[in-house]
Amino acid sequence: MNILIIGGTGGIGSALINLLINQNTENTIHSTYHITQPELMHPQLTWYQVDVSKDSDVAELSETVNQLDIVINAVGMLHSGDMMPEKTITQFDSDFFNQNISTNVLPTLLIAKHLSPKLKSKTLNYFVTVSAKIGSIEDNNLGGWISYRSSKAALNMALKTISIEWKNKKFNTCVFAFHPGTTDTNLSKPFQRNVPEGNLQTPEKVAAALINLLQRLSLKDNGKFFSYDGTEIPW
Ligand SMILES: NC(=O)c1ccc[n+]([C@@H]2O[C@H](COP(=O)([O-])OP(=O)(O)OC[C@H]3O[C@@H](n4cnc5c(N)ncnc54)[C@H](OP(=O)(O)O)[C@@H]3O)[C@@H](O)[C@H]2O)c1
């Protein structure tokens, strides 16, 4: 299969690449990195340096890759530099909000825009973004983290909207959002002490859960939001 992993040097992205390479010698993996230089080199793997929040960068990427069976976007941010997610609205900062939007929502829109010709095919294919349950409006009982939460809610709406358009245009693409659970990566490091014992996922387990979903989901699951445990999450 021809697979594109966006954000391949991230915790979840790199676990996905490792698993896909080990799983099948026939898999061809294309992956993007941004600032962090990739360490993993493999004959089945090609790297591209892309800022996926830039229209021109994503347009250039789309010229480089062939028809794709699976696209997974594992790019995202929760904190940056000394900016941490807000505990209250009084901590809201417009630059931090805009950074959340441009990292957590914009890439999926740009990837869908530029790569749609590479997905339209006669065979079933997948367009997945790693989202977060915190972006579910129905599930929001705690409040807080307003920039990250709002960006993931916007991402979820973007995915749902793309799924409807592509269904109407008779794409064979199953579009879905994936919640990895709290996973041991740089993104969650500052918050891991609050995670109950046994609830912190390894990136390897999360990658396996996502690949498992890809093996069992089909067009009837287009436009849905799934957790790492296989259950559906309300939007
Ligand atoms: N870890 C968790 O507990 C958890 C929970 C729920 C949801 N998620 C979601 O899971 C996804 C993956 O996160 P992770 O935990 O694997 O975090 P991570 O290890 O920090 O990886 C994030 C990745 O995003 C890339 N990135 C950021 N801005 C970019 C840009 N403009 N262009 C291209 N790449 C960019 C980073 O690349 P550089 O380092 O090169 O900038 C990095 O590879 C995120 O969407 C996150 O919101 C994670």
Q: What is the pLDDT of residues 21-56, one digit of tens each?
A: 999 999 999 999 999 999 999 999 999 999 999 999
Residue 120 confidence (pLDDT): 75
Write down the pLDDT at residue 121.
81
So what's the pLDDT on residue 9? Answer: 98
Q: What's the 13 CA to ligand 1 centre distance in angstroms?
A: 8
Counting residues of the chain whose pLDDT is more than 90, the rounded percentage is 97
To test the pocket of ligand 1, the residue of 185, 191, 202 to mutate (highest count of ligand atoms within 8 Å of its CB) is 185
Query: 186 C-alpha vs ligand 1 centroid, how far in Å?
Result: 8
Sign of CA dihedral 62, 165, 103, 31: negative
User: Ligand 1: which atom is nearest the Cα of residue 104?
Assistant: 45
Q: Distance, CA 169 to ligand 1 centroid (Å)?
A: 31
CA of 170 to the centre of ligand 1 (A): 31
Position 208 scores a pLDDT of 98
Confidence band for 160, pLDDT divided at 50, 70 and 90: very high
Q: Enumerate the H helices of the chain as residue ranges.
A: 11-23, 55-64, 94-104, 106-119, 146-168, 203-216
157 contact partners, CB below 8 Å, separation of at least 6: 235
Residue 81 has pLDDT above 90, yes or no: no
Q: Is residue 85 lining ligand 1, measured as CB closer than 6 Å?
A: no
Cβ atoms of residues 8 and 17 within 8 Å: yes
Residue nearest to atom 42 of ligand 1 (CA): 10
Pocket residue to mutate for ligand 1, from 77, 96, 111, most atoms within 8 A of Cβ: 77
Mean pLDDT, residues 117-139: 95
- Average pLDDT value for residue range 196-204: 94
- With CA atoms as reference, report the closest residue to 81 among 91, 71, 92, 95: 95
Give the pLDDT score at 59: 98
